[in-house]
Chain A
Amino acid sequence: MNFQLSDEQAMLQNSVARYIKDQYNFDTRRKIISSQKGMSSELWTIFSELGWLSIPFSEDYGGYGGGNEDVAVIMEELGKGIVVEPFVPTVLLFGGLLSHCGNNIVAADLIPKIIEGSCQGAFAYLERQSRFEITDMKTKATPLEKGWSIDGSKSIVLNGSNATHIIVAARTSGGQHDSSGISLFMVDADSQGISILPYGMMDGHKAANIIFDGVNVSDDAILGSLDEGMSIVENIMPQVLIGLCAESVGIMSVLNDATIAYTKTRQQFGVPISSFQALQHRMVDNFMAAEQARSMVYRALCAFGDGSLEVENERMRSLHAMKIAVARSSKMIGEEAIQIHGGMGMTDELNIGHYVKRLMTINLMFGDGDYHQRKFNQISYCAA
């Protein structure tokens, strides 16, 4: 039994932590967000040089060959700096789909470009009506004599306005609500028929709504098997969810530390407000909530680790439970951080609210806490 980082992981953690601390302060981040691209290409190149963009990719493609744990390590540290650069959309989502699609030619072409920082990716899956059931999909790909024509509109495509390449999910068979019949297509972002409406999210990240109006692609553009796109998505979900939850764990630790430090300096009634038991007990509850969330990330890491004894059902239970626990803890810790900071917690000037908004956004990605709790209930409780 072991919950310690390996030497390599500890080195990775230190390197990311040091860089974020020295080079990614709150003012830097603010300037990046207000820029037109909403990300720093210069920093992205440095992330590449530091090797961070290679972490989850196979050595076959020039990657570091890391696993879920390495992803969790880097994401926790990125969370501490609420880094807005598109690590999740380009490396975990777009790159993850490439790694898992089984199409070696496309993967061998694009993954090295992701690693060297020259390829920005996006995954267009969500539609206005889908909410959390992402198979609720109207976008269609219609077969042509040669290739396909894609029509539909996608919402909240992370990194959509900066992406050079977009993987778009579209129906190739079945009705709007069918869970199967969805295929993934690789599309150049500058293809004819694509229009992109960019906007910023409340967490400072960039997204876009994208309309596909008769976008023609070749047969080679299909990733994996026809109609089987969702199985690729399901395969990358453990790593994506673990990464996002690890990012939340990093954010929660920053919020708790900042709140405790603030109560020690903030004087009211002639004493630091940290001396009030009403606040002390709430900060203890926040501490426990953060530890419970961290434990759940560890649980999911063990469940999806090498040689795990967990059966499939238990793996999925751990994954859903992690998202539930992180949603529960981060809602509480975020709200409490604002409350205990008082009026200052309400200001845009202070970093607290920005950390909270990232937590809120992560909670809504790939299913909120209630969504995952329903899924958890379905596979856990049944009279039969």
Chain B
Amino acid sequence: MDITFTKEDLAFRDEVRDFFATEYDSSVAGGLNLATISDGISYKEAIVTWQKKLYAKGWIAPSWPVEYGGAGWSITQKFIFETERGAAGIPAVIPFGLNMVAPVIYTFGNEEQKKRFLPRILSSDDWWCQGYSEPGAGSDLAALSTSADLVDGQYLVNGHKIWTSYAQYADWIFCLVRTSKETRKQQGISFLLIDMKTPGISVKPIVTIDGRHHLNEVMFEDVWVPLENLIGEQDKGWTYAKALLAHERTGMAEVADSKRAFSELKERAKHEVNGGRAMIDDPVFQMRMSDVETELMALEYTELRVLAAMAEGGTPGPESSLLKIKGTEITQSIQELQLQLAAYYGSGIPSDGQKDGYGHDFAEEARCGYLFGRAATIYGGSNEVQRNVIAKMVLGV
């Protein structure tokens, strides 16, 4: 049992470190910070600029099969890359294209589709969003009712998707749509790729409790989608989506990002004072910090255990739900402590152009991070649904 690095691993770590140090422009860091993004195109530009650098280096989609552009890294190399990324304060890539639809395309799509979509996902020339949830289908995703009727060799799509992250930037949306109403509700669902520029699609912003625009409703009114945009077989989309979900959850432990957030928290706690004493020296606050940090230290190894088991030749199993639950709970706990550090000052909303009025330059980030962070235990299958999955698939009850 060990996680020791070979000489090659250490050389790889140095290469990753150097690349991040020289190529990641910290001036765009603010633009990449989800908690403090301002609504506008600058955010998308910043992301795409950075992702294109990763693409040029061949590191944009390390987990993909090598034949489609993956890096062919060992588990240890992936771990090193993630750790260094987190330590450098660099955000993970936007997952919708690279980690969510791409595995479905290269696993279940035809050659034509692979050639058409994968290169533009790799190069970040296409921005994807995910059309799953509907007003009547949240945790009960299979209850979705957006319909795709085959008319004259094309699909005619009508319906209403909701909670669609960054649809305002998207070129494409991958959707679960109903193609049959006859059978069990999971069986009549198909996986459809839709160009966002198609007539009949409209995007309506949803402002969240952090006061910002991350989410949208996407409406489909008589939208014509060519048959060639169907993934795999009609009515089999649920199977494809389910295979993807385990991938999605594995990425949700967000250990590297939580480690970074925690070290920022520690740094800030040295400078925030109460009664002349730094918060980091406050015994009660120390207990709250170590409650979270020790959970995070354990999760880091839980994730490594899952990854090592995957490397032995498994796909991520239902235990990936554990990573999602614990990972999001820890993320939220750190955000709670950030807000606790910002204290009353975190409640003030600075006017435009003002950093904030109190010299606490993280207060805005802390407040928005906490408020939007509540979404983490809701999206990607709520943590309650994840517990249902573990109960059924792992505990067998």
Contacts and interface: CB of A to CB of B under 8 A. Distances in A.
B4 A301 contact: no
Interface stretch (A19-27, A77-85, A230-238, A287-295): A287-295
Interface stretch (A126-134, A191-199, A318-326): A318-326
A52 to B, nearest CB: 20
A270 interface: no
Contacts of B295: 292, 325
Interface string B60-82: 00000000000000111001000
Contacts of A302: 1-3, 301
Given A283-B395, A287-B390, A308-B4, A324 B290 contact: yes
Interface in B371-395: 384, 387-388, 390-391, 394-395
B2 A321 contact: no
Interface size class of B (residues with CB under 8 A): 35 or more
Nearest to A68: B1
A298 B1 contact: yes
Interface string A153-189: 0000000000000000000000000000000000000
Given A1-B3, A284-B395, A308-B4, A292 B299 contact: yes
A295 B397 contact: no
A306 interface: yes
Interface in B40-65: none
Given A1-B304, A382-B281, A383-B281, A264 B397 contact: yes
A380 B290 CA distance: 9
Interface stretch (A41-49, A139-147, A274-282): A274-282
A296 interface: yes
Contact of B396 (A260, A318, A380, A383): A260
Contacts of A309: 4-5
Interface in A1-58: 1-5
B298 A3 contact: no
A3 B304 contact: yes
B155 to A, nearest CB: 37
B297 A296 contact: yes
Contact of A376 (B294, B298, B312): B294
Contacts of A301: 1
Interface of A: 1-5, 69, 260, 263-264, 274-275, 277, 279-281, 283-285, 287-288, 291-293, 295-296, 298-299, 301-302, 305-309, 317-318, 321, 324-325, 328, 373, 376-377, 380-383
21 contacts: A1-B308, A280-B391, A281-B384, A281-B387, A281-B388, A283-B395, A283-B397, A284-B394, A285-B387, A298-B1, A299-B298, A302-B1, A302-B2, A302-B3, A307-B4, A325-B294, A325-B295, A373-B290, A376-B294, A380-B290, A382-B280
Interface of B: 1-5, 74-76, 79, 266, 269-270, 278, 280-281, 283, 286-287, 289-291, 293-295, 297-302, 304-305, 307-309, 311-312, 319, 322, 325-326, 384, 387-388, 390-391, 394-397
Given A283-B395, A295-B302, A296-B297, 19 more contacts: A1-B3, A1-B74, A4-B1, A4-B312, A281-B387, A281-B388, A288-B322, A291-B322, A292-B298, A295-B299, A298-B1, A299-B300, A301-B1, A305-B2, A307-B2, A321-B293, A321-B298, A377-B286, A383-B278
